[in-house]
Amino acid sequence: MYVMNTKLTLRLDDALVRNAKTEARRRGKSVSTMVAEFFDGLSRPAHSVDRLPPVTASLHGVLRGRRLSEADHKTYLREKHL
């Protein structure tokens, strides 16, 4: 499958461009790749389970339907650390 790339010109503050290039180098990516990933992420749900680390994804929804309060949590912690 052929994917066509289109050039996009952004006007940004010089300091922001420097920071973006530094961050891209740190991540081993291009600024274009980081921008593309950002825009791609906008079309996905913010809490998509498939984007979570495996351990976190395995815990997703385990408390659904439970009514737990901050007081419940504090009680649990007190009992746990006695």
Q: Per residue in 57-75, pLDDT tens?
A: 888 888 888 888 999 989 9
| Domain coordinates in residue numbering, the chain | 12-59
Contact of 44 with 55, CB cutoff 8 Å: no
Q: What is the mean pLDDT of residues 33-54?
A: 80
Q: pLDDT for 14-29, tens place per residue?
A: 999 999 999 999 999 9
50 pLDDT tier (thresholds 50, 70, 90): low
Q: So what's the pLDDT on residue 78?
A: 93
Asked if pLDDT for residue 9 goes beyond 70, the answer is yes
DSSP string, the chain: -------------HHHHHHHHHHHHHHTS-HHHHHHHHHHHHTS-TT-GGGS-HHHHHHTTTTTT----HHHHHHHHHHHT-
The answer to whether 49 touches 57, Cβ cutoff 8 Å, is: yes
